Amino acid sequence: MYQYTDFDRQFVRQRAAQFRDQLERFQAGTLGGDEFKPLRLQNGWYIQRFAPMLRVAVPYGEVNSAQLRVLARIAREYDHKEDNDISQANAALSDVPSLPDRCAHFTTRQNVQYNWIPLDRAADVMDLLATVNMHGIQTSGNCIRNITTDAYAGIAPDEVADPRPFAEILRQWSTLHPEFAFLPRKFKVAITGATEDRAATPWHDVGLRLVRNVDGELGFQVRVGGGMGRTPIVGTVIREFLPWAQILNYLEAVVRVYNRFGRRDNAYKARIKILVKAEGQTFIDAVEAEFVDILDKDGAPHTITEAELARVTGFFAEPQALTCDRKSADEKIAHILRVAAEDDLEFGRWLQRNVRGHRNPDLRAVTLSFKRVGQAAGDASADQLDRAAELADRFSAGEARITHEQNLVLPWVRCDQLPELWREARRLGLARPNIGLLTDLIACPGGDFCDLANARSLPIAQAILSRYQDLDELHDLGEIDLHISGCINSCGHHHSGHIGVLGVDKDGQEWYQVTLGGSDGTRLSGAATPGKVIGPSFAADEMPDVIEALLDTYRAQRQDGETFTATVRRTGLDAFKAAANAVRTQTARAATA
């Protein structure tokens, strides 16, 4: 992974010192709350229902074991519920004593969040993060956010090119960009280098795909104007091919046009998707004209040189020299599979669900599942983070990746070490063979923590996790994306779930709107599209039965080998609607009205 230079390290330390100065002025009363807000947000500090929330940047999801240990230490020493005065907080429906603390949370944008660090310890935490080159730069606020990518970047067999060097170059370019720190609204960039889009690029403000043109040259397909929220829109391709060297110049044009013309009168209409939708070709023309001016009049100073790409790419070389021919790798794997089939069905399932192919035939990418009963989706306790760091050191060259699906991937696992890793991971409760299945669900922190949420996500997720523990049943149900958001801001990506659950608020009670057929843009899910609502909202108590009714309908309707979402696409929503309506209890009258 990328190694920080002296310049990078000094930059992160100076950022931490700058934040300490801002915090001290806020505490001294010389910096007002409204003025401190965007400054703290651009360092990852929110104020939530009970306490501040910190979002730590994990650029394109890559994290090393030393960083995992510091994240563990922050969870252990700083993420303390009891250090916050919550007597004045509106607990709403939350059962505060049962809310988790002393843990970190993996987000859908490959970052890490904490929910209980008091603000007066914030600067100390930023100093601690800086010791391992971490920070919260631009993890919130109306700026270019932390860049995300495919969790299997650089190791996936289906890759056109490794997106990580470009993601790092983009990270550097966007970090404290003087012109683009106060955009109309947040601005998210995702980049993939694979033929399969595992980064949900059409759902981002800018979605980049590495492609080759007819001459074999490397470049980007550029999409602009995707986003979820109140108005789910899939991004528009505005360039089929942009030479890679021009990507910073081109993004400068996109963001400048957005900064100048994006709406600032209404936060709900301020994302670039609204500008793209309203202006259409005029927007594209403006970007192209600005790009030409950057090239011709400004001299294109951010053209990426071959030397710079080579320098950054060098950091992403495979961490250890593993010499292995295909035959030897195949033999090892065949042996492992034989042992698995003979000895342990669960190991076989783990190989099937949690272990993925690698561009190096002797290596595998292994996903540690953070979706289990008793802990929120994507939550990792201090001890689990420490143990994950040990696993990374022992089995994966000290590296891990945080995934969009809120798990942890070990990217450099030797195939002959899979049985040992499986035993260790199982001992830690991180070997649940459910990756890609129903219980590998995505959920935001929801109303238990978030000040914006209308309803809680965690109890719904737990109810479904608890109900679907039978592995035979889970594997029979097959690949299903279940995405849960506590409000329309869509942090749980409900729009792109095969089953999407959206928390809504009516009269202070929690209700849930259910959508079917959404897609993140993968082959399994089809072209990116928002799901369709299946009827009036359901009560919280009804939700587990609703999910079960939808799944039972799928089992009754499916044809050979058909996935849930394929059945929904083929049959339409009627049977699913009827089944969901049949389990209504409290909402029966509303549904038939």
Partner 1 sequence: MSAPQAPLQLFQADQFVPPEDASRRLVLANDADPREARLDGIDVVELQFPKFADGRAFSQAFLLRRRLGFAGQIRATGDVLIDQLVQMQRSGFTQAVLRADQSAEHGRRLLAHYDGFYQGDAVDTRPHFANA
> Using CB under 8 A as the criterion, which residues of the chain lie in contact with partner 1 when the complex forms?
7, 10-11, 14, 17-18, 21-22, 25, 30-31, 35, 38-39, 142, 169, 172-183, 248, 256, 259-260, 264, 293, 297-299, 301-302, 304-305, 308, 311
Considering the complex, what minimum distance in angstroms separates the CB of residue 146 from partner 1? 14
Instruction: State the Cα–Cα distance between residues 500 and 125, nearest whole angstrom.
Output: 35
Q: Of the two residues 29 and 216, which places its CB atom closer to partner 1 in the complex? A: 29
Considering the complex, what minimum distance in angstroms separates the CB of residue 283 from partner 1? 16
* Nearest Cα residue to 208 out of 169, 168, 242: 242
Give CA 382 to chain center in angstroms.
20
* Nearest Cα residue to 583 out of 553, 562, 555: 553
Q: Of the two residues 26 and 114, which places its CB atom closer to partner 1 in the complex? A: 26
Contact 409, 381 (CB under 8 A): no
Q: Of the two residues 37 and 372, which places its CB atom closer to partner 1 in the complex? A: 37
Considering the complex, what minimum distance in angstroms separates the CB of residue 14 from partner 1? 5
Give CA 322 to chain center in angstroms.
30
Considering the complex, what minimum distance in angstroms separates the CB of residue 322 from partner 1? 31
165-191 b/e (C-beta count within 10 Å ≥ 16 → b) = bbbbbbbbbbbeeeebbebbbbbbbbb
Strand 206-212 relative to strand 218-224, pairing: antiparallel
Which DSSP string corresponds to 462-525? HHHHHH---HHHHHHH-B--EEEESSTT-TT-GGGSSEEEEEEEETTEEEEEEEE--B-S-TTT
Contact 444, 485 (CB under 8 A): yes
Q: Of the two residues 165 and 518, which places its CB atom closer to partner 1 in the complex? A: 165
Q: Of the two residues 303 and 522, which places its CB atom closer to partner 1 in the complex? A: 303
Q: Of the two residues 142 and 457, which places its CB atom closer to partner 1 in the complex? A: 142
Q: What are the E-state strand segments in 20-83? A: 45-47, 52-56, 62-64
Q: Of the two residues 249 and 369, which places its CB atom closer to partner 1 in the complex? A: 249
Rg (CA), the chain: 23
Considering the complex, what minimum distance in angstroms separates the CB of residue 66 from partner 1? 23
450 Cβ contact partners less than 8 Å away, ≥ 6 residues apart = 48, 49, 53, 444, 486, 487, 491
Give CA 42 to chain center in angstroms.
18
Considering the complex, what minimum distance in angstroms separates the CB of residue 56 from partner 1? 20
| CA distance between the termini of the chain | 57
Considering the complex, what minimum distance in angstroms separates the CB of residue 312 from partner 1? 8
Considering the complex, what minimum distance in angstroms separates the CB of residue 111 from partner 1? 20
> How many other C-beta atoms are found inside a 10 Å radius of the C-beta of residue 223?
24
Considering the complex, what minimum distance in angstroms separates the CB of residue 302 from partner 1? 6
Q: Of the two residues 299 and 508, which places its CB atom closer to partner 1 in the complex? A: 299
| Phi, psi of 154, deg, nearest 5 | 80, -10
Q: Of the two residues 20 and 475, which places its CB atom closer to partner 1 in the complex? A: 20
Considering the complex, what minimum distance in angstroms separates the CB of residue 544 from partner 1? 43
Instruction: State the Cα–Cα distance between residues 287 and 225, nearest whole angstrom.
Output: 13
Considering the complex, what minimum distance in angstroms separates the CB of residue 288 from partner 1? 16
Contact 102, 76 (CB under 8 A): yes
Q: Of the two residues 17 and 322, which places its CB atom closer to partner 1 in the complex? A: 17
Place of tokens 């190989």: 351
Considering the complex, what minimum distance in angstroms separates the CB of residue 44 from partner 1? 16
Considering the complex, what minimum distance in angstroms separates the CB of residue 15 from partner 1? 8
- Alpha carbon dihedral 179, 273, 223, 195, in 10-degree steps, equals 120
59-78 b/e (C-beta count within 10 Å ≥ 16 → b) = bbbbbbbbbbbbbbbbbbeb
Q: Of the two residues 187 and 512, which places its CB atom closer to partner 1 in the complex? A: 187
Residue 427's identity, in one-letter code, is R
Tokens (6 digits) for 112: 């890490």
Q: Of the two residues 121 and 302, which places its CB atom closer to partner 1 in the complex? A: 302
Q: Of the two residues 170 and 333, which places its CB atom closer to partner 1 in the complex? A: 170
Which DSSP string corresponds to 143-191? SBPPPEE-TTTTT-TTBSS-SHHHHHHHHHHHTT-SSSSS-SS-B-EEE
Q: Which residues pair with 515 in a beta bridge?
A: 500, 533
Give CA 499 to chain center in angstroms.
17
Considering the complex, what minimum distance in angstroms separates the CB of residue 141 from partner 1? 9
Q: Of the two residues 10 and 466, which places its CB atom closer to partner 1 in the complex? A: 10
* Nearest Cα residue to 415 out of 330, 345, 340, 341: 330
